[in-house]
Amino acid sequence: MTGTQRSRRTAHGVRAEGSAATARASATAALLAAALALSLAAGCTTGRDPTEDDGRSTSGRPTGPNPSTGLGQVLAVKIDNADAARPQTGLDAADLVYVEQVEGGLSRLMAVYASTLPETVGPVRSARESDLELLRQFERPVLAFSGAQHKLLPLIDRAPLDAVTPGEAAGVYFRGPDRAAPHNLYLRPGRLLSSAPGAAALTTGFRYGAAPPGGTARGSYTVRYPAARFTFTWSADRSRWLVSMDGTPAVTAEGRRVAPATVVVQYVKVRESAFHDFLGNNTPYTETVGSGRAEVLRDGRVHDVRWKRATARDGTDFTTNDGKPVGFAQGQVWVVFAKAP
């Protein structure tokens, strides 16, 4: 398929002649099975999520622009945010970064690329059920992730997106040598999509323009999860919010500070899902369809606003309390989903 490199591997059985050959073949098969088991175990050693890198085969494939809309496919990548995964690669090139709570009160990121495809993105980690609802706003997006809980896989297969995992896309993913699995899986976007689809593919509902009137001057803002926190500090020199994670400045692997122009703290319902990790921790489900309160950080000020997303196929509208659309600053946007009180 255009812009995509994929391969499928098949095992070919070879009949050994004589008992010695049969014994050698059996021994070789046993060694290969043991090696495969060790490899899978290394890919699953997270302490929280045993289903990473499950090597599943997916039916979804990037298809290019939709002929009815002309919109290309955005690339959404699930990015590891554990201490061992930092600093991340390619995070500063994303148009949009979503922050969600996962098992044990930790956090995970979803970076969405439309304007630019960086050379490398990662570390890549597993998908969650909430991702499927969130991604419905885009025109058949490409979702790059390392795996998912087995009971979730059928839902991903039925979702209107193109799911790409390491087991399906040969040469698209690679393991970095400087970290232990599972925090060392990286994506080469240029081997997955032939080009960036352009900003028009970001059907988020976001508006860009002048800031709403009013707001409260704020030098920094912190969002806390049970086992994670994000602090956004305003830099007047850069006209950006400098991101810190768990008290440490967020930089890319290249040393660039992660600094969005707009930060949205969106208060949503976070409930239990039907899924658990191997320790018995429930996977939170973040509901992004509905309405509620949000805070928009831009230009060193915090604005109290309202958000509304009518259906999963819609983007999210942000309005002032008197119903006027809220303009975001041009540049990267972070949306942090926080549990509504």
Task: Count how many Cα atoms sit within 13 Å of the Cα of residue 14 in the half-sphere of its side chain.
Answer: 9
**How high is the pLDDT of residue 277?**
62
For 224, the 3-state DSSP assignment is: strand
Give the whole-angstrom CA distance, residue 156 versus residue 56: 11
Give the whole-angstrom CA distance, residue 106 versus residue 82: 8
**How high is the pLDDT of residue 170?**
82
The values of phi and psi at residue 135, to 5°, are -80, -10
Give the whole-angstrom CA distance, residue 296 versus residue 265: 6
Token representation of residue 157? 């297969």
Per-residue pLDDT 10s for the chain (341 aa) are: 434 333 333 332 322 333 343 444 444 444 333 333 333 333 333 333 333 443 333 444 676 666 556 678 999 999 999 999 999 999 999 999 999 999 889 999 999 999 999 999 999 999 999 999 999 999 999 999 998 888 888 999 999 999 999 987 789 999 999 999 999 999 999 999 999 999 999 999 999 999 999 999 999 999 999 999 999 999 999 999 999 999 999 999 999 999 999 999 999 999 877 766 666 667 789 999 999 999 999 999 999 999 999 999 999 999 999 999 999 999 999 999 999 98
Do 190 and 119 meet the contact criterion of CB atoms below 8 Å apart?
Answer: yes
**How high is the pLDDT of residue 278?**
60
Q: What is the largest CA-CA distance in the chain?
A: 86
Task: Give yes or no for a cis peptide into 65 (omega within 30° of 0).
Answer: no
The letter for the amino acid at 320 is T
**How high is the pLDDT of residue 2?**
38
Instruction: Please report, for residues 102, 135, 244, 251, 279, the alpha-carbon distance to residue 283 in angstroms, rounded to integers and kept in the order given.
Output: 6, 18, 24, 28, 11
What is the pTM assigned to this prediction?
A: 0.82
The values of phi and psi at residue 187, to 5°, are -115, 140
User: Whose CA is closest to 208, among 257, 258, 261?
Assistant: 261
Do 251 and 239 meet the contact criterion of CB atoms below 8 Å apart?
Answer: no
- Sign for the CA dihedral angle at 133, 328, 335, 318 comes to negative
